[in-house]
Structure formats: C-alpha cells, structure tokens
C-alpha cells in the first residue's frame, strides 16, 4: 500500500523548481529589466540595433564565463583573465603589424599564448601551493606589466577583415558573429561539463578535493587543465575585443575580471565549489550585458555601472550561499524556509538591493529626460 502511495507521489512545484533556480533567477531579472525598459525607454532600448549590441557585448564574455565556471567549480578563481586577454592580443598584433605575419598564423599563436599563460597560472598554484586568489592576482600584475612593456603606450589598429569579422561581424540571420562564437563556446562547455570525465571530475573536486584525491582523481592536474582552458578562452576574448575595436592597447579590459566572475556567480556556480551551471553562466552574461546596456540607454554615468554590478554580485552570493547552507543542513525545500526569520531577512535584503537598482534606473531615466536637448 505504501509503495503504491510512493509511486503516485508528486512533489510540489517548489521542489521541482529547485534544480533550475540557477537559470530561473537570472532569467527573472532579465524579464524584469525588459519590463522596466518597456516603460522607461522603449524607443531606444527595443531597437534591433540595440538588441544586437547587447548580444555583441555579451558575446565578449561568454568564452571566459564558460571557462571560469570550471575554475570556480573546482574552488579556484582566476583574476588574470583580463591581462591574459590583452597580452595575447598585443603579441598577436605585433606579429601581424610589425613582423608581417599572416593573421591566420597570428590568431592560433594568440590562442596558444593564452593557454600557456593559463598553464603558468595553474603551475604557480599547484606546484608552489600558492592560493588561487593570490597566485592569479600576482600573475595579473605580471601579465599587465608585460603588456605595458611591449605596447609602450602604442595603439595598434587596422587589422585584416577576418579579425574585425570575429569582433563585430554579422551573420545572414542578423545575429552578430561574436555572439555565434560565444554561444558555440557555451555549447562546448555544456557538453564538457555534462558528458566528459573532466566535467564530472571538476564537480567532484569542488565538492571535496580530499575525497576526489582518494578516489584516484588527479586534483592538481585537473586544476591545471581548468586554468589552461581559462587562459585559452581569455585569449579568444582578447581577439574578439581587438576585432570589435579594430585596435588594441595595454590598458583595455579593466573590468574583465569583475564582469566574468559576476556573470558566473549570478548564474549559480558556487564560489564554495561543487555547484556548476553553464546555462546559468550564459544567463548571467546576458543579464549583466542587458543591465549595463540599460544604464547606458538611460544615460546614467559610466562610474555607476560597477556599483550596479557590485550589488548584483552581493545579492547573488548571499542567495546561493544561503541555498547551499540549506542543502548541507538537509532542511528540505528552501521555498518553505522563506517563512523563517533567516529567510525573511534574506527576502528583505534582496528586496532592498532590487529597490536600489530600480531607483538607479529610475533616477537615470529622469535625469536623461531633464538633460535631453530640446527641439
């Protein structure tokens, strides 16, 4: 009798939705931005050209977000992606512009250099037992310094058409070429995470490095693999940035690190390891690109953009840390826990952050209306 009841048991909607919250949460915020902009500035935000610009901006971060998902899932972090992207692109630019190399040779060399820089990061962390945060921060300074030494203040510009096509081209279906490249990297990352030993080992290492080591998984070796992947994807992003601007200089990409990590965390990948979502990272990239585009559309000052990104990171980390705590405590569905005192605090905190973001957008819309030229 009891077995028949168990077979007919249908879990409530809250339990069925829990595995998909990494995607539902950023998608809900994307929908909220769409609705707000439909009221605040529909004529500018909903132009086809602006939607293509959102995709083009998001595409720049998709390869790095995909690779960063593997790094963070293994309880690591890479703060050098921006410098790796710029240094790889500058070396490629010098080979093409100063030494006459073909662009078809320069692009593979840039990707290889990115992978080598990622390998250096991995070896510094695993061989010298340097914490990921300190190791990649130090190497970020090294790579940034090398880029400044090589460029010497120069702006290298006017590259062959193939590079500009990678950075800002258009497909026949009105989808930017960089968006196609970015989505292909996301699809590849999803396949690697879900269908390969490396993906399964990544989650296992993040869940418990000691247990993974005892089961025969080469923890240090797989951490190096993750950083090599991150370096190669950062180099690809550097090529896309160079093509988009049709120029490269050493001071480009100052907020790459913040933006990529924010997108991955917003998408549900846990900073504590063991929880990964490539689809969530993709949603996080779209969310941040759309949010920053909305701020620009409403003519809010550029310096408010990192502020908004910071609020999104704080709220996302707080939410997912709370969810993970409930999972460890075995407290059941976290929807039910919203009625507790702790859950109510989280709801009020999230509402406050959302209110601040909406206020920023609203103030920007009012100021834009006041400063718009008449006639």
What pLDDT, on a 0 to 100 scale, did the predictor assign at position 374?
43
Residue 107 CA to residue 115 CA, distance in Å, equals 13
Mean pLDDT, the chain, whole residue set: 84
Dihedral sign for Cα 52, 53, 57, 60, please: positive
Distance CA 271, CA 275 (A): 8
Confidence of residue 372 (pLDDT cuts 50, 70, 90): very low
- Which DSSP symbol is given to 248? E
Please give the Cα distance from 373 to 256 (Å, whole number): 34
pLDDT number for residue 265: 87
Tens digit of pLDDT for each residue in 96-139? Answer: 998 999 999 999 999 999 999 999 999 999 999 999 999 999 99
* Residue ranges of domains in the chain, CATH in brackets: 14-364 (1.10.3470)
As given in the structure block, the two tokens for residue 181 are: 């490249």
The model's pLDDT over 42-62, given as tens digits with 9 standing for 90+, comes to 888 999 889 999 999 999 999
Q: Enumerate the H helices of 219-333 as residue ranges.
A: 219-245, 256-266, 278-297, 304-329
Render the burial of 230-243: b for 16+ CB within 10 Å, e for the rest.
bbbbbbbbbbbbbb
Q: Is the pLDDT of residue 344 over 60?
A: no
Asked if residue 81 lies in contact with residue 257, where contact means CB atoms within 8 angstroms, the answer is yes
Report phi then psi at 331, rounded to 5: -85, 5
Q: Please give the Cα distance from 269 to 280 (Å, whole number).
A: 8
Model confidence pLDDT, tens digit, residues 4-17: 545 666 665 555 66
Helix (H, G, I), strand (E, B) or coil at 87: helix
Confidence of residue 371 (pLDDT cuts 50, 70, 90): very low
Total-model pTM: 0.84
The candidate with the shortest Cα–Cα distance to 79, out of 207, 243, 249, 255, is 255
Per-residue pLDDT tens digits for 215-272: 999 999 999 999 999 999 999 999 999 999 999 999 888 878 888 998 998 888 888 8
pLDDT band at 348 (very low <50, low <70, confident <90, very high): low
What pLDDT does residue 355 have? 62
Tokens coding 20: 């998909």
- What is the arithmetic mean of pLDDT over 308-320? 69
Q: Which two tokens stand for residue 84?
A: 């790796």
CB-based contact 290:53 (threshold 8 Å): no
């Amino acid at each position: 009798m009891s077995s028949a009841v168990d077979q007919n048991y249908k879990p409530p909607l809250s339990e069925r939705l829990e595995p998909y919250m990494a995607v539902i949460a950023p998608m809900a915020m994307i929908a909220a931005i769409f609705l707000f902009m439909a009221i605040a500035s529909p004529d500018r935000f909903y132009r086809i050209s602006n939607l293509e610009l959102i995709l083009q901006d998001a595409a720049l971060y998709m390869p790095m977000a995909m690779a960063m998902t593997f790094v963070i899932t293994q309880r690591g972090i890479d703060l050098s992606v921006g410098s790796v992207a710029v240094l790889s692109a500058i070396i490629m630019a010098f080979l093409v512009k100063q030494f006459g190399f073909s662009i078809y040779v320069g692009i593979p060399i840039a990707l290889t250099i990115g992978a080598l820089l990622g390998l250096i990061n991995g070896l510094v962390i695993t061989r010298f037992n340097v914490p990921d945060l300190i190791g990649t921060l130090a190497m970020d300074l090294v790579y940034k310094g090398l880029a400044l030494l090589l460029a010497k203040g120069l702006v290298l510009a006017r590259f062959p058409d193939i590079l500009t096509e990678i950075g800002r081209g258009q497909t026949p279906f009105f989808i930017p070429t960089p968006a196609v490249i970015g989505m292909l990297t996301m699809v590849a990352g999803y396949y690697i995470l879900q269908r390969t030993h490396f993906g399964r080992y990544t989650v296992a290492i993040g869940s418990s490095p000691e247990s993974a080591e005892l089961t025969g998984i080469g923890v240090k070796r797989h951490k190096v693999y993750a950083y090599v992947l991150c370096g190669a994807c950062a180099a690809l992003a550097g090529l896309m940035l160079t093509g988009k601007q049709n120029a490269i200089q050493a001071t480009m990409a100052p907020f790459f690190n913040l933006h990529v990590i924010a997108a991955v965390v917003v998408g549900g990948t846990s900073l504590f390891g063991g929880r990964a979502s490539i689809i969530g990272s993709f949603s996080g990239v779209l969310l941040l690109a759309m949010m920053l585009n909305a701020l620009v559309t409403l003519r809010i000052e550029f310096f408010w953009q990192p502020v908004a990104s910071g609020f999104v990171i704080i709220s996302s980390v707080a939410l997912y840390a709370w969810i993970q705590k409930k999972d460890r405590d075995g407290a059941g569905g976290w929807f039910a826990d919203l009625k507790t005192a702790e859950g109510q605090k989280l709801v009020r905190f999230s509402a406050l952050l959302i209110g601040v973001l909406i206020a920023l957008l609203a103030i920007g819309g009012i100021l834009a209306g006041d400063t718009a030229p008449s006639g």
